[in-house]
Structure 1
Amino acid sequence: MSQELVLVTGGTGFIAQHCILALLSQGYQVRTTVRSLAREAEVRDNLGTGGAQPRARLSFVVADLGSDAGWAEAAGGCRYVIHGASPTPSGTYATEEDWVRPAVDGNLRVLRAARDAGVARVVLTSAFGAVGVGHKPMNRPFNEDDWSDLTGNVAPYQKSKTLSERAAWEFIRNEGRGLELSAVNPTAVLGPALGADYSHSIRIIKAMMDGQPGLPRINSGFVDVRDVADLHLRAMVDPAGNGERFLAIAGESIWFAEVARILRARMGAAASKVATRSLPDWLVRLGAWRDPRMKDIVPILGVNMNATSAKARRLLGWNPRPAEEAIVATAESLVRLKLLAPDPS
């Protein structure tokens, strides 16, 4: 058990809260940032859902990635930083620059604060979006040597993840002054929701269980959030983690139709509304003309997005649970927390 202090940025986030749970279970003291202390009670409630009552072992600091205020206080006295906070622009008309600049500046702000506070290592929560998009079709799984090709068709979120991770590595090379960095690049993150504010990937499962009428022909890697948290902690303390990126995927990627079949097979009556038919690509493209929120999926229709986690397994001894378990755990939590759409009656 360790009494060392770890900063986890963005404590309202899904991955961040599971990282806090993992750190607490290993005896760490945890400090987390929020943009408003009004959300402290919500975070503590969610951690309680996850089985933890940290009390004084968890403290909160107000800090926003868009401002320098609070970051020196947040990083002060910390041995490690897990940086998972990521700015998300609001509004339908957010520009690409609205995504990219805050993400880049936010990473640099946290890294400067960590360096100046004498932190040993930062673990950056990046994304598969910084690895596997914009490419021509691949005949091999993606690995950590791959970077998303920004000359291809890349959504603003994925571009922001790519450029902000690249900026972090450049900072370490040029200005890090001994600060160590490791990056975790998860595929779609599933697993137990702790409350109503959960990951974008969990919305995939919720939409299926709420009766989405058909499935776009999308292929994705999946990984359980508890295993993503475990990988962050391994990358944080293992000497082999320094200077490395780690893809987080459980097994091989699968198609949404297979996810639907797993739900139907494992979730019984709770999955009675899950559709298993695939929508033709032309219909999805037509829908994207009418609903701009769908346009980001058009470039990945029919594209194999397989990746390998061999590096994390080899260097850090990481051993994630199968994707099927992550899918089922997600669905069970949505039922347990009553987060599915009610049946009309």
Structure 2
Amino acid sequence: MNTSSNNEKLVLVTGGAGFIAVHCIIQLLNEGYRVRATLRSLNREPQVRAMLQEGGVDAGARLTFIQADLSAGDHWEEAVKGCTYVLHVASPTPKLNFKHEDEMIVPAREGVLRVLRAARDAGVKRVVLTSAIGAVVYGHPNQTEPYDENSWTNTTTAPAYQKSKTLAEKAAWEFIEREGNGLELAAVNPTAVMGPVLGPAYSHSIDIIKNLLTGKMAGSPKINSCFVDVRDVADLHLRAMTNPVAAGERFIATAGESIWLIDVARILKENLGEAAAKVNVKQLPNTLLKVLAMKDPKIKSIVPLLGINMNTTSAKAIRMLGWSPRTTQEAILATADSLIRLNLL
């Protein structure tokens, strides 16, 4: 990319303290863009700047912050003012102890619409929405073919968090179609996000590695997942932001084919030596987990996934955008190395 031509372009990144968002900010600044990031509280600015420095970037004045919350309408007009692009990365995180699924669905959907309305009214060229694999793979009969971008999660049977991601993305596409007035949209649907942690804020997927390394997991449930490095997720956001062919498209981000959690444990065990001493390479029986699920909401949330194939493909992003992700093993080991280095275990 020609970074000199980007100097005058301002990009809004929502949820600026998040794991994916911070990596997006690093790559935007490295490409010469100016960045404005939203935070629910401006008290988090020093933490974000510290994470950026850990990632090798001293943002200085090229990065500014604005307080804005997805659950409230104020400040969004100001947030998008003067922006060429918006990366809408912010999203409510999974809740385990919710009374009603709308606690996740309503903020996700309404937040997306707030950002899109403000972006349209401000003359933003394109919004890239961070959706999730949760909007693609849930609630289908078990299939052997990898899921691609034509697949949508079945919201009648999906868990609440995945349902919220699906309904939010669908609302975004409907908005663009009905009242976008020329605003362009692209969506990125990452699988389980791994990669270098830069501080105490990171994606919930990272807990898999943390729990394996600390011995908190007595073994691995029979769960299948694809993984992807956060640096490649950020790279895909930038490609989806600028490539003309990306408008109106969604892109799955996965490093490769799906693997089982026990394979993740083996990767750690075989590559980290003494640091992986507590990693338990044992398969937990489905029957045991179903019994434990009666008392533990966290375990209950994974029971529907036991033994289910979750394989997806990034062929579209590779073909259309020239995306070239790191391997699954690289993504997993980069996660572990950063957790160990930053004493976050």
Cα deviation, residue 90, structure 1 = 5.8
1:160 aligns with 2:164: yes
Q: Which residue of 1 aligns with 2:344?
A: 339
Q: Secondary structure at the match of 1:82?
A: strand
- How many residue pairs match? The answer is 339
Structure 2 CA distance, aligned partners of 1:31 and 1:6? 6
Q: CA separation in 2, counterparts of 1:216 and 1:334?
A: 22
Return the alpha-carbon distance in structure 1 between the equivalents of residues 155 and 11 of structure 2: 34
- Measure, in 1, the Cα distance between the counterparts of 2:99 and 2:149: 30
Amino acid at match of 1:170: E
Name 1:254's counterpart in structure 2. 259
Deviations 1:77-122 (A, max 9, x none): 0000000101247672342011101110000000001001100000
Q: Deviations over 1:177-229 (max 9, x none)?
A: 00000000000000000111111110000000010111100000000000000
Contact 2:86 2:119 in 1 (8 A): yes
Q: Deviations over 1:98-156 (max 9, x none)?
A: 1101110000000001001100000000000000011110120000000001222x111
Within the candidate set 173, 176, 182, 2:180 is matched to: 176
Which residue of structure 1 aligns with residue 197 of structure 2?
A: 193
**Contact kept in structure 1, 2:266 and 2:281, CA below 8 Å:** yes
Aligned residues of 2:95 and 2:104 also touching (Cα < 8 A): no
- 1:194-209 map, 5 Å: 194-209=198-213
Is the Cα contact below 8 Å between 2:191 and 2:226 reproduced in 1?
Answer: yes
Write the distance in 1 (CA, Å) between the matches of 2:99 and 2:11: 33
1:75 to 54, 71, 80: 80
The answer to whether structure 1 residue 225 and structure 2 residue 230 are counterparts is: yes
Give the TM-score normalised by structure 2: 0.97
Whether 2:74 is the aligned partner of 1:35: answer no
* Residues 18, 226 of structure 1: 8 Å contact kept: yes
Give the alignment's TM-score, normalised by structure 1: 0.97
Match of 1:100 in 2: 105
Q: Equivalent of 1:151, from 146, 156, 169?
A: 156
Kindly, what percent of the aligned residue pairs are identical?
A: 60
Question: Which digits, 9 at most, give the CA deviation of each residue in 1:36-56, with x for residues without a partner?
Answer: 110000000011111110110
Which residue of the partner structure matches residue 248 of structure 2? 243
Q: Is the Cα–Cα contact under 8 Å of residues 14 and 87 in structure 2 kept in the other structure?
A: yes
Match of 2:67 in 1: 62
Query: What is the aligned partner in structure 2 of residue 110 from structure 1?
Result: 115
Deviation at 1:68, TM superposition (A): 1.0
| Stretches (4+) displaced over 4 A | none
8 Å contact kept, 1:89–1:98 = no
Structure 2: which 5+ residue stretches go unaligned?
Answer: none
Report the residue type matching 2:344 in the other structure. Answer: L
Residue 21 (structure 1) aligned with residue 20 (structure 2): no
Rate the CA distance shift 1:283–1:89 in 2: closer, same or farther, 3 A. closer
CA RMSD in angstroms comes to 0.9
Give the 3-state SS of the residue equivalent to 1:282 in structure 2.
Answer: helix
Name 1:130's counterpart in structure 2: 135
